[in-house]
Amino acid sequence: MPLNPLMSDALRARGAVYFDVVDSTNIVAKQLARQGAADKSLVLSDEQTAGRGRRGRGWISSPGQGAWMSLIVRPDVPVARAPELVMVSAVALCRAISDVCGLDLSIKWPNDMLANGKKLCGTLLEISASEDRLDWAVIGIGVNILGTKFPPELPDAGSIESVSGKRPRRAAVVEAFLNAFDEVYAHWQNSGMGWLLPIYKAHCSTLGARVRAICPDGEHEGVAEDISPDGALMLRLSDGSLRALYAGDVSVRGTDRYG
Ligand code: BT5
């Protein structure tokens, strides 16, 4: 049993499914979702041997260091609204980490959470739909909590400990995330993006920056001017046109703040 365990009585009482080691919590959560697991069921693991990022990339998930977890959700929404769940989760994580250790994270669109320019959290959303309705979604979240040394291939990674010097109880981070998620998810279900979007934007460090975006339809460079209500990054290109990006990897080139 690690000194700073990821599992707690509170999480057990919520029905969280815990593993010491698993290939990927997203893989397990998708199996449970297919078997009918309830809305907001959680899978977490102390270590992942095949933690996954987006587009086939990996996620380093060392034992005793983080919260590697997947939340199954079943909102009754059109499938086109599924990407908003990444925003729900990002805002809940910002709240949770601020509550637990007073650290303010920023969000790099669409799914990275940063502090001091270091990536502390990443999110991988996987979904299943029937016709145009969302059947279920698995929100996979990796939070680096403890540790100050990262492998050389991750020069931009950080943890709560490496950026703040604090060593919170890992289970407390997960408990705070679930509590914040309950609230943010309920607001989102009741009033859509109207309540969420301004909060997401206030945390989003990509806004106002000159960025290069590598997207499924090619590369684009411009100033990140806004986030649309459906979660697209609105990029002002050099020819003055505005382009909506729904998925991609963004690197920041500099800051051109608007008024
Ligand atoms: C992500 O992908 O950031 C999504 C990561 C989601 C991980 C969670 S853990 C629980 C659940 N189960 C899973 O199998 N996955 C989810 P992406 O934006 O594609 O970023 C991936 C990139 O982040 C990698 O190519 C590395 O450069 C970097 N990276 C890998 N491990 C990292 C870590 N522990 N901390 C910071 N950066 C990392």
For the residues 94-123, what does the mean pLDDT come to? 96
% of residues, the chain, pLDDT over 90: 90
C-alpha 165 to ligand 1 mean position (Å): 22
For residue 258, pLDDT over 80 is answered with: no
Other beta carbons within 10 Å of 141: 29
* Strand, coil or helix: 129: strand
C-alpha 88 to ligand 1 mean position (Å): 18
% of residues, the chain, pLDDT over 70: 97
- Pocket around ligand 1: residues whose beta carbon is below 6 Å from it? 24-26, 48, 51-55, 57-61, 68-70, 111, 119, 122-124, 140-142, 144, 154, 157
User: What does the block give as tokens for 181?
Assistant: 């998620």
C-alpha 53 to ligand 1 mean position (Å): 4
Strand order in the sheet with 106-108: 17-22, 41-48, 66-73, 133-144, 118-130, 112-115, 106-108
C-alpha 179 to ligand 1 mean position (Å): 23
Predicted local distance difference test score (pLDDT) of residue 101: 94
Spatial separation of the C-alpha atoms in residues 231 and 87, rounded to whole Å: 8
| 154 CA: nearest ligand 1 atom | 27
For the residues 3-29, what does the mean pLDDT come to? 97
Q: What is the pLDDT of residues 212-228, one digit of tens each?
A: 999 888 899 999 999 99
| 141 CA: nearest ligand 1 atom | 8
